Amino acid sequence: MKNVLITGASRGIGAETARLFAQNGYSVFINFNKSQQQAETLRASLVGCGYQAEIIRADVSSSSDVGKMFDRIESSCGGIDILVNNAGIAQTKLFTDLSDDDWQQMIASNLSSAFYCCRRALPHMIRQHYGRIVNVASMWGQLGGSCEVHYSAAKAGIIGLTKALAMEEGLSGITVNCVSPGVIRTDMTSHLSDEDLNALKNETPTGTLGTPYDVARSILFLAGEDSSFINGQTLGVNGGFVV
Ligand code: NAP
């Protein structure tokens, strides 16, 4: 049974991804930071159905927290086969209003987190000559989002990290890809007004917004055997918003 770590899996896209991997026979580590109750409820529902799931707290914007999380995972199962770097935060602010803290927190939560987790996950993957890394970017990292410059920069960084790491690790039997979601209905987009959501829907060629399940099944595909020759790619899950 393959082990998968999904960061930020207490809610939204991460929780749906954890559910889908568990249902497809993977042993799932559900990382959370603040939402312990939601992570516990998710774990209990999966274990109750006979699936393999554990929760593990770590603030993935912290290198030392990530180190402790991997120490625990490695002592329980040796290491992970699949890493999904999903944890992230968003913030809407004019660029000229961004504080140093806003910038640093955004980069740490969305980009440095992936660096810390990849760095710790890779030695085991390299030793076993097998691994899958799937990073969660955003279409704003491709297009650039007004009033989300720090978020867009972090997500563009994720796309760059994905491409370069894919080059470096290809010969080690490891693929590195990312999904780039469009507008997905989760807590992250719950602050948007109906008017804004309708405008975004109308801008999307499919005329719909995405669901966490849409993203989760793309992640599952990139982590599975059917995608073994796909490496360094950015898979848009956005209804055609970016073509
Ligand atoms: P969400 O519903 O707000 O959930 C965010 C998740 O990230 C939560 O489980 C949260 O855990 C976790 N998290 C945040 N900071 C963390 C940290 N420092 N350490 C550990 N976990 C942390 O967001 P979502 O919509 O599912 O987004 C998931 C990913 O998709 C993010 O990377 C986001 O940028 C990306 N994305 C989302 C959309 C969208 O429209 N929703 C579009 C494109 C990309 P706790 O609550 O436990 O702290």
* Ligand 1 closest atom vs CA 65: 19
pTM: 0.99
Instruction: Kindly give the number of the ligand 1 atom that is closest to the alpha carbon of 151.
Output: 34
Residue 76 is assigned to a structural domain of this protein = yes
By residue range, what is the domain housing residue 31? 3-237
Q: Is the sign of the CA dihedral 87, 169, 141, 237 positive or negative?
A: negative
Task: Look at residue 126 in the predicted model and tell me its pLDDT.
Answer: 98
Q: Is the CB of 143 under 6 A from ligand 1?
A: no
What string of DSSP letters covers 96-153?
Answer: GG--HHHHHHHHIIIIIHHHHHHHHHHHHHHHHT-EEEEEE--HHHHH--TT-HHHHH
In a domain, 154, yes or no: yes
In a domain, 61, yes or no: yes
Residue 243 inside a domain? The answer is no
Q: What is the DSSP letter of 188?
A: G
Residue 104 within a domain: yes
Model pLDDT, residue 176:
99
Q: Which domain CATH number covers 52?
A: 3.40.50.720
Q: Give me ligand 1 centre to Cα 22, in Å.
A: 19
For residue 242, is it within any domain?
Answer: no
CA angle, residues 138, 108, 78, in degrees to nearest 5: 90
Rounded to whole angstroms, the maximal C-alpha distance in the chain is: 51
Name the residues annotated as catalytic.
151
Q: Which of 60, 63, 158, 186 to mutate to test the pocket of ligand 1 (most atoms within 8 A of CB)?
A: 186
pLDDT in tens, the chain (243 residues): 999 999 999 999 999 999 999 999 999 999 999 999 999 999 999 999 999 999 999 999 999 999 999 999 999 999 999 999 999 999 999 999 999 999 999 999 999 999 999 999 999 999 999 999 999 999 999 999 999 999 999 999 999 999 999 999 999 999 999 999 999 999 999 999 999 999 999 999 999 999 999 999 999 999 999 999 999 999 999 999 999
Q: Examine residue 119 and state whether it is found in any structural domain, yes or no.
A: yes
235: left (phi over 0), alpha (psi -120 to 50) or beta: beta
For the purposes of burial, counting CB atoms within 10 Å of the CB of 197, is it exposed (0-12), middle (13-18) or buried (19 or more)? middle
Give a yes or no: residue 88 inside a domain.
Answer: yes
- Domain count within the chain: 1
* Any ligand 1 atom below 6 A from CB of 34: yes
